[in-house]
Amino acid sequence: MENRNYFTATSEKTVQDFIESVKENAPRFNFGVRRVFDVREEYRKQNVSVDDDFQLYQIMVCNYERSYKSTSSNMERAAVLLQPKQIIAYTEKGVTTINYLPFTKEFIKQALPQDDTFQQSLPESCQRIVRLIETSK
């Protein structure tokens, strides 16, 4: 199910299999997997009591070269560049769900109204991430 501001999908794969599929497919979409956060373990590191069956992962993807060129041309972009590169995956009641919030041109225009180039390029990258998710699920 997809709408303009939020993407969600389900998969028959386990979360771990989905993550491995993202890692495998990412280069085809000009991305690499920067980090995978096991949110349960992150909470536990902060002494939060977390149920053993709590399963939530944050997958951070990046097009390293584009990211570097983009931020080095305008450091303000970093504040909005990193957020939309995070894919969320979890299993609940035996179903793996993937959620992703792609940024729209309108959102980038509000954040950086003078940056016409970024208003076009970041939403395009976000849509490549949607295609990466669809391919990997």
User: Each residue of 77-136: pLDDT tens digit?
Assistant: 888 876 668 999 999 888 999 999 999 899 899 989 999 999 899 999 999 999 999 999
DSSP 3-state assignment of 13?
coil
Q: How far apart are CA 87 and CA 121, in angstroms?
A: 19
List residues bridging with 69 in a β-sheet: none
Question: What does the radius of gyration of the chain's CA atoms come to, in whole angstroms?
Answer: 16
The residue ranking higher by pLDDT, 33 or 3, is 33
List residues bridging with 31 in a β-sheet: none
The tens digit of pLDDT for each residue in 8-47 reads 999 999 999 999 999 999 999 999 999 999 999 999 999 9
Question: At a CB cut-off of 8 Å and minimum separation 6, what does 104 contact?
Answer: 4, 5, 123
Q: How far apart are CA 104 and CA 122, in angstroms?
A: 8
CA distances to 77, 85, 135 from 106, in Å: 15, 18, 26
- Residue 82 DSSP label: S
Question: Can you give the pTM of this predicted structure?
Answer: 0.90
Q: Are 61 and 132 in contact (CB under 8 A)?
A: yes
- In this structure, what token pair is assigned to residue 136? 């990997």
Please calculate the CA angle 83-88-90 and round it to the nearest 5 degrees.
Answer: 165
Look up the CATH superfamily of 2-136.
Answer: TT1751-like domain (3.30.310.70)
Q: Check residue 62 and give its pLDDT.
A: 93
